[in-house]
Amino acid sequence: MLELLLVLATVIGIALIGLVTVAMTPPLMVELGLWGLAAGLLIGIPTGWWYHVVLYRTLARRMALPRRWWRRPVSLHPSLTPDEYQSVRPWFVAGALGFFLCLAGGVSAISGLLVLRFYP
């Protein structure tokens, strides 16, 4: 059920971005999308990297981390104590925010470019 709601929210979000693109001038939408993408990269890459560093430093002190732990680091969150989780969570949220900005900016820029190309 949750997956269905996520897909529905994604489709509605993309449709709304398309409507906003038609309402705004498409070149402005492309520019805003590229700025959002750049901001997401500037926020997401360093904070995501630091999240992995903090998580590794926190857990490596008391347990051996599995091979390729960085592919699914969220699965290690239950191994954290509440205090440790509080030190890791801000970096986790900031990295997720950067990822979201990248997705939203990319979809916005692509929508603007498609409207420029195909809208009469």
pTM for this structure? Answer: 0.75
Copy the structure tokens of residue 57.
């430093």
Q: What is the average per-residue pLDDT within 70-93?
A: 94
User: What is the predicted pLDDT for the residue at 67?
Assistant: 92
Copy the structure tokens of residue 83.
């205090």
Q: Under DSSP, is residue 36 helix (H, G, I), strand (E, B) or coil?
A: helix
Q: Report yes or no: 36 and 105 within 8 Å, Cβ to Cβ.
A: yes
d(CA 97, CA 16): 20
pLDDT digits (tens, 9 = 90+) for 21-42: 777 788 888 999 999 999 999 9
Q: Report yes or no: 21 and 111 within 8 Å, Cβ to Cβ.
A: yes
d(CA 112, CA 26): 5
Q: What percent of the chain has pLDDT over 70?
A: 99
